[in-house]
Amino acid sequence: MTTPMIRGLRGATTCASDTPEEIIAATQELLKMLMKRNNLMHDDVVSVVFTTSPDLTSAFPATAARGVGFGDIPLLCASEIDVPGSMPRCIRVLMHVYTLRPRTEIRHVYLRNAQSLRDDLPE
């Protein structure tokens, strides 16, 4: 049997506005898609780091993650660097997971307007 490796999954999405409902919906959509595209189970997730652009302040993405069952997983939120011209209303994620997939088969997920951040990745 092959031993699972710890891999990092990246993703991002955007919100239409800075409201708790938008942040929760966008974050939950992103997490569900990362799990689905990488065929992950809850116990595969080690930890999750979220960042938000400085214009998203009405809710923590970690709150949204707890709403889809991530309450027992270490979660951390931080603010992105306020770089001029960067993507507005953006939520980014770095998820650490156990997986048997090689690095070349990891499926990073970029949704909504954040798709333009990594147009080099397969759908």
Domains of the chain: 5-118 (3.30.1330.40)
Across all residues in the chain, what is the average pLDDT?
95
Amino acid identity, residue 98? Y
> In the annotation, is 80 catalytic?
yes
| Rounded mean pLDDT, 18-34 | 98
> In the annotation, is 66 catalytic?
yes
Which of 66, 101, 107, 112 does the annotation list as catalytic? 66
> In the annotation, is 98 catalytic?
no
> In the annotation, is 7 catalytic?
no
pLDDT digits (tens, 9 = 90+) for 46-62: 999 999 999 999 999 99
Distance CA 39, CA 51 (A): 24
The pTM of this model reads 0.94
Enter the tokens of residue 94. Answer: 């770095």
**Has residue 39 got a pLDDT over 70?**
yes
Distance CA 51, CA 79 (A): 5
DSSP state at residue 27? H
Q: How confident is the model at residue 121 (pLDDT cuts 50, 70, 90)?
A: low
